[in-house]
Amino acid sequence: MVKVTFLGAGSAFAPKLSLDIFLIPGLSEGELYLVDIDEERLKLSYKTTQVIREKYGKDWRVFATTDRRKALPKSDFVINCIEVSGLETVRFDYEIPLKYGVDQCIGDTIGPGGIMKALRTVPPWVEILKDIEELAPEAIVLNYTNPMSIMTLTAFRVSSLKVVGLCHSVQGTSRKLAEYLNVPYEELRWQCAGINHMAWFTELRFKGEDMYPLLKKKVREDKELYEKDPVRFEVMLYFGYFVSESSGHLSEYLPYFRKRKELIERYCREGYKGESGFYARNWPKWRKECDLWRERVIKGEEEVKPERSYEYASQIIEGVMLDRPQVIYGNVLNKGFIANLPQDQVVEVACLVDGKGVTPTYFGELPPQCAALCRSNMAVYELTVEGILEKSYEKILQALLLDPLTSAVCSLEEAKRMLDELLEAEKEFVPSLK
């Protein structure tokens, strides 16, 4: 019998991933432990999951607790979706950098917002990893929490656990590309590798034909198509390949799109296409809407349809427990998988999943221009992880100074003042640095 422990079960991921697990063909029973320190949201999540279980996973048993140490023993899989002090700090992460000209759309994986989120999230993550090592050392740990690359790299630096970082950008973007090319998704052949939110589709083929010339031609000639993904299409036209993250989020990973007001107006659009402060303004509302949806499900006012999402968690559980081969894209430690990216840092590559576990596959070399853009962000991740583990103010500052968007906007002294203001505003939520 499989045991799955879900940390951060108050998150929006819990109902979706729980349903995915219940719908795994051939895995009809197991134990699902929901864990969250917010008792009210845990209750909501538990009741919602029980409604879903009653309909689609009757032979599963669901438990809820605020104490992860009660849930972890003998877990086969641990899913991590924690959020640390987000409601209290999301406005600081956006508004303080904006004073210094750093205009963020999402700001939770890179840039000043991503670094601050790392400062809040990595310390409890380290404690969670220690508990898993003690209580469930053989578990496969599936991390969904951002900042993805920083969280996953931390896990590899402080533990020997089997950890893989999971996102939905590769599978989501591949479907987008099929839509843009107007070809059946099942018949589109592609290869993709890089880092989280900057994985490059280095090959796009349909019936043996390279689709990139057609896609580039369509983008140049079709204004309506261009408007669907302006930043990603600009990057493709200049660097040659399409990237795995939304236009708005990608614009934060690069120095080209958000450093002046006229550039933001030219390339960025509403919502996930690059809207200023989109995440900071909407995230508290999204949390509330998630809770209201759960209440409707519990009351029977809304039905959950039996459809598996394309999130990878259930595919990994299915592959491992049933020895049913799957291919997923995971964030793993680079052990030669991408030859021209730094080794022993986190990369995102295709992984084979079967009864032996999650096995990353060899990709080779990225196009040099793509690798260079990845490396500019990997340096930020490395210094951020070192800074947090060593409690080093100097390394955190240097990480910020190397951030592509911050360095495109701020002087060295301005970036330091911004960091100092952020640390002061969030001192209740971040560790003291020396």
Helix (H) or strand (E) holding 77: strand 77-80
Please say whether the beta carbons of 366 and 338 come within 8 A: yes
Alpha-carbon gap, residue 197 to 337, rounded angstroms: 17
CA dihedral (51, 57, 63, 69) positive or negative: negative
Alpha-carbon gap, residue 347 to 370, rounded angstroms: 13
Q: How many helices (H) and strands (E) does the chain have?
A: 18, 13
Nearest C-alpha neighbor of 291 from the set 50, 89, 12: 12
Alpha-carbon gap, residue 224 to 254, rounded angstroms: 24
Where do the DSSP E strands lie in 241-338?
242-243, 326-333
Which residue of the set 168, 218, 228, 375 is catalytic? 168
Alpha-carbon gap, residue 211 to 203, rounded angstroms: 8
The whole-angstrom distance between residue 281's C-alpha and the CA centroid of its chain comes to 19
CA dihedral (303, 306, 309, 313) positive or negative: positive
Please say whether the beta carbons of 267 and 251 come within 8 A: yes
Look up 168 and say whether it is catalytic: yes
Q: Which is it for strands 77-80 and 2-7: parallel, antiparallel or unpaired? A: parallel
List beta partners, residue 80: 7, 143
Instruction: Record the tokens describing residue 156, joined without a space.
Output: 């590899």
Within 10 Å of residue 269's Cβ, how many Cβ atoms? 17
Alpha-carbon gap, residue 254 to 277, rounded angstroms: 17
Omega of the bond prior to 147 within 30 degrees of 0, cis? yes
Alpha-carbon gap, residue 163 to 129, rounded angstroms: 10
Please say whether the beta carbons of 264 and 13 come within 8 A: no
Which 3 state secondary structure label does DSSP give 346? strand
Alpha-carbon gap, residue 312 to 166, rounded angstroms: 7
Please say whether the beta carbons of 240 and 369 come within 8 A: yes
Catalytic residues: 168
